[in-house]
Chains A and B, each alone.
Chain A
Amino acid sequence: MGFHQISVRVNGNDEIITVASNLTLLRMLRETLSLTGTKNGCAAGECGACTVLLNGEPVNSCMVLAVEVDGQEVITIEGLAKDGQLDIVQKTIIEKGAVQCGFCTPGMLISARALLNRNPHPTEEQVVEALVGNLCRCTGYSRIIESVQAAAERS
């Protein structure tokens, strides 16, 4: 197993780190950078709990190798709020009461942010489609969908 030095911008900070060839982006974030807000739900790209933005696009970080993000930009849940202000979709998910156990919430918020970045005014169907890969067992989803719609209306 080889090791590689990579440079990556994470939540606006430039990091130079040494990673093993088989280390996933998920483990790099959680174990190397202690950014534990990104969750490990299946390690197989099926639940969406580990979703982060890679150059603005949502990816399951368990399916990306750390070496692949050399020279790239990653945003995690810890980087969603800016200057002490919550992202609008963080605010609306609170207002709608759309959080229960919270384990899917970081990935859900990242997927929502990715959608709003590429489509500031999505239809309900587009919200449903954007979040279909983020599993939630607690809320029944409808409040989450409403949160994204409310965020779109307000931004």
Chain B
Amino acid sequence: MTTADHKTETMHPVGKSVQRLDVLEKVTGAAQYTDDVPFGNSLLYGRVKRSPVAHGIIKRIDYSKAKALPGVKVIVTGDDFPNLVGLYLKDKLIFARDRVRFVGEAIAAVAATSEEIAEKAIDLIEVDIDPLPAVFDAEFGATKDAPLIHPDLANYECPNFIFPVPGTNIANHFKIRKGNAEEAFKKCTSIVEKKFRIPHVQHVPIEPHIAVAQVEPDGDVTVWAASQSPFSQRSSFAKALGVSESKIRVIAGYVGGGFGCKAGVTMENVAVALASKAGGRPVKVRLTREEEFFTNFVRQGLIINLKIGCDAEGNLLAMENTQYWDGGASTEYGVNITRAGGYNSSGPFDIPNITTNALCVYTNHPIGGAYRGFGMSELHAGIIQCMDILAEKIGMDKVAFLKRNAIQGGDFNVTGMKMHPVGLQECIDTVAKELNFGKKEPTSAPNKKRGKGIGIVWKAPSMPPNAGSSAEVRLNEDGSVTVSVGGQEIGQGTFTVMAQIAAEALGVAYEMVKIEGPVDTRYSPYEWQTVASRLTWSMGNAVRRAAEDARKNILEMVGEAWGENPSNLDIKGGYVVSLKSEESISLKNIVVYGIPRPGDQGWIGGPVLGRGTFMPSYVTNLDKETGQGARAVVHYTTGCQGIDLEIDTETGKIEVIKAVSVFDVGKAINPDLVKAQIEGGFIQGMSSAIFEEMKLVDGVMKNPSFVDYRIATTADLPKENIALFVETAQDDGPWGARGIGEHPMTPTIGVLANAIYDAIGVRVSNPPLSAEKIYLAMLEAGKIS
């Protein structure tokens, strides 16, 4: 089956909106996701026994009745897996042992011959738990009065950039001490002080979490998982089982939506645990939609106290920023989200004096995970609103205020890092122009109020300093190219972008390149994780280098055969050409069989294989007390968003009329894919800002279904959702590219809140910015009666 009537050949594909590589598979139902892999009749089905109590001591677990149920093959509990695991701070068990810390925590698991039997067996497991006092508020949790959730915090293994405070619930305390904020506030003519509460939300991929695990005859374990992090998972499984990485193999097919929740390890450990005792039978664990909502990692709640001041001309002088992150029962990503909240705490603003305390606080809520631009939607929700308030307070045009204070290349930012060139001014100008910012538009009906909001964001990839990438490029007999990578196609289009990069660097048509899949840790080259908007930049560099390596091998082979210097040769359209003699030879066959020497005197060359790796070498640690250092991160992607909306004063309902998002992507390798990320990211941001909240009452999620936890549908779209980009090259990105996957949703809470204020003259600050909340705010302010 072909998608085009004629075969297209796209030369020099970088910068062109070529068609996605994976699209034909995806529109025909052929694309294989983890749940689609066949395992035959030996497959066992796993289910999890979960804690109904938010905090308590386990007194008794009795699974004798479950064990007696016909069809039950394996039951595992915490006693079988005593090793602590965790991506950064090793603070959790696969199954709770003495203590449970959130509603939904795994206590035991069953593998049985059918899902129905496994479900029945779970009900037959008896667990007695003595409840303990619990913590449901991060700000309270950080105080001395709060009950301790992890009394053993002092003994947990922890990397050197995470700072737990033993004897408290603080899993990480990240500090910024830049300049002297206290003194600088005395010089401010205007100061805004405001507290924001950002609720827990869920990622809601349409594909629920799923993993299948099987012990091979040699004792190795194979795991099939919907995963953004096959290599990190391999490492984590190995630690949980007490074996080395080479004993574990992770195979990860297409991922049906990730957004961060399929990064690290969530429920996949359960499949591995069950399989380790299943005598070689594969065990599948798939979360129900209800489990997906209340047991999966969450976007953790945030309580943030902001104090920001400026002088009479509108120059920002000082910021005080205190963040209480609701890390949950243990901290897979939470400690690092807190770190990101700290080293991004200024937002994209040049502020000379900053005091930040970012605290990751253990609570008895679900575990905080990485959600698309982690920490940044929450942090910017507050900053974007405070800047709006401050501009109004000093009577300055909002766009001019942003432009005056936006971070620029050469500025020394919040961590003391010298900023690389950024196109933020152009982003702001473009949004202001597209939205006609400052001009009040007419309303569509007398009962409606119209308003506009604007805000700017930044975000750096939040990752360890040495997150690495690698790639291999192989040439085939027909001159086609196979690229192997360990990064994952989770919908963002990375396979397409990698094929474009390989084709451009080699000198062949885009259509000649295939990406090897699925990612398989046994065969694929190492990739840290598919997170942090880092692949286009990091894996892109590795692929480019691998393709250049292959190109070098080819040119050396032909140069030797022709007696020419390789520097006088080029690859164009699948042919090696001499710039001197204009002689040419097809890549076909020579890239596998080599070239015969004249007169049957042997052969030159042979199979062409290019290798490339990339790892940033320049990221330095930050001082524990000041958060200052030479270079905290690899780079920042910046951008601006504006919204024009209408509010129905009779219902409080928001109707977004137009959204404009402009980001500085360095270089758009595939402009249409960039726009698709921005469009989709805006709707996800809008959905989470207006509709979404995990209703947690005493640790119990009250709305764990699509009916009660509503996400945006086709009926909720703005009339216009405009996605644009500017290109200020990143010095070490492929063709100047930097990431864009996460950023588009990060400004939306704050920008919506600003637009609501502009429309109705009342500030509704804390999401969800629901019709009910807006209506009641108007009522209370006397705007309606």
Interface residues of A (CB under 8 A from B): 22, 30, 34-44, 46-47, 49, 76-78, 80-81, 84-86, 90-91, 93-94, 97, 99-106, 109, 127-129, 131-145
Contact = CB atoms under 8 A, between A and B. Distances in A.
B491 A101 contact: yes
A140 B721 contact: yes
B437 interface: no
A44 B705 contact: yes
Given A99-B27, A101-B255, A104-B206, 12 more contacts: A39-B256, A42-B706, A47-B289, A77-B28, A101-B207, A101-B254, A101-B258, A103-B256, A137-B205, A138-B680, A139-B683, A142-B717
Contacts of A37: 28-30
Interface string B249-263: 000001111110000
B390 to A, nearest CB: 31
A119 B488 CA distance: 39
Contacts of A85: 1
Contacts of B19: 94, 97
Contacts of A136: 206
Contact of A137 (B29, B206, B705, B715): B206
A140 B706 contact: no
28 contacts: A36-B29, A36-B32, A37-B29, A38-B29, A39-B35, A41-B207, A41-B208, A43-B288, A47-B206, A78-B29, A78-B30, A90-B27, A90-B28, A91-B3, A97-B17, A99-B23, A101-B207, A101-B257, A102-B31, A102-B254, A103-B33, A127-B714, A135-B713, A137-B205, A137-B711, A139-B683, A143-B676, A145-B714
Contacts of B205: 101, 103, 137
A39 B673 CA distance: 24
Nearest to A94: B23
B672 interface: yes
Interface string B659-679: 000000000000011001001
Q: Which of A102, A105, A135 has the largest count of B CB atoms less than 10 A from its CB?
A: A102
Contacts of B673: 97
B206 A101 contact: yes
Contacts of A49: 206
Nearest to B716: A141
Given A94-B19, A143-B679, A138 B257 contact: yes
B26 interface: yes
B203 to A, nearest CB: 8
Nearest to A125: B715
Given A138-B257, A140-B683, A140-B721, A86 B207 contact: no
Given A36-B29, A90-B27, A101-B205, A132 B713 contact: yes
A138 B677 CA distance: 8
B24 interface: yes
Interface string B1-29: 10100000000000001011011111111
- The 3 A-B residue pairs with the shortest CB-CB distance, nearest first, are A37-B29, A101-B491, A103-B256
Contacts of A139: 676, 679-680, 683
B211 to A, nearest CB: 15
B204 A137 contact: yes
Contacts of B706: 42, 44, 46-47, 135
Contacts of B717: 128, 140-142, 145
B493 interface: yes
B759 to A, nearest CB: 23
Contacts of B493: 100
Contacts of A99: 20, 22-23, 26-27
A101 B490 contact: yes
A28 B36 CA distance: 13
B697 interface: no
Q: Which of B23, B206, B257 has the largest count of A CB atoms less than 10 A from its CB?
A: B206
B388 to A, nearest CB: 25
Nearest to B257: A101
Nearest to A127: B714
B672 A84 contact: no
B562 to A, nearest CB: 42
A102 to B, nearest CB: 3
Contact of A106 (B29, B259, B712, B713): B29
B676 A100 contact: yes
A103 B206 contact: yes
A86 B3 contact: yes
B584 interface: no
Interface string B236-277: 000000000000000000111111000000000000000000
A135 B721 contact: no
Contacts of A135: 206, 706, 711, 713
B27 A86 contact: yes
Nearest to A89: B27
Contacts of A38: 29
B679 A109 contact: no
A86 to B, nearest CB: 6
Given A97-B673, A140-B721, A103 B711 contact: no
Contact of B20 (A40, A43, A84, A97): A97
B445 interface: no
Contact of A140 (B1, B3, B256, B682): B682
Contacts of B3: 86, 91, 94
B492 interface: yes
A41 B28 CA distance: 18
B28 A84 contact: no
B593 to A, nearest CB: 34
A116 to B, nearest CB: 15
A132 B206 contact: no
B684 interface: yes
Contacts of B491: 100-102, 138
Nearest to B204: A137
B3 to A, nearest CB: 6
Interface string B272-292: 000000000000001011000
B256 A128 contact: no
Contacts of A94: 3, 19-20, 23-24, 27
Nearest to A128: B714
Contacts of A131: 713-714
Contacts of A44: 289, 705-706
A134 B706 CA distance: 11
Nearest to A76: B29
A61 B144 CA distance: 53
Contacts of A47: 206, 289, 706
A154 to B, nearest CB: 14
Given A97-B676, A128-B715, A102 B1 contact: no
Contacts of B446: none
B38 interface: yes
Contacts of B206: 39, 41, 47, 49, 101, 103-104, 135-137
Q: Which of B22, B28, B712 has the largest count of A CB atoms less than 10 A from its CB?
A: B28
Contacts of B30: 37, 78
A37 B22 CA distance: 14
A94 to B, nearest CB: 5
Q: Which of A34, A43, A47, A101 has the largest count of B CB atoms less than 10 A from its CB?
A: A101
Given A81-B1, A101-B207, A103-B256, A36 B713 contact: no
B711 A46 contact: no
Contacts of A78: 28-30
Contact of A77 (B29, B207, B257): B29
A47 to B, nearest CB: 6
B746 to A, nearest CB: 15
Contact of B28 (A80, A97, A127, A145): A80
Contacts of A128: 714-715, 717
A92 to B, nearest CB: 10
A82 B712 CA distance: 33
Contacts of B26: 99, 102, 105
A43 B717 CA distance: 26
Contacts of A106: 29
A29 to B, nearest CB: 10
Contacts of A97: 17, 19-20, 672-673, 676
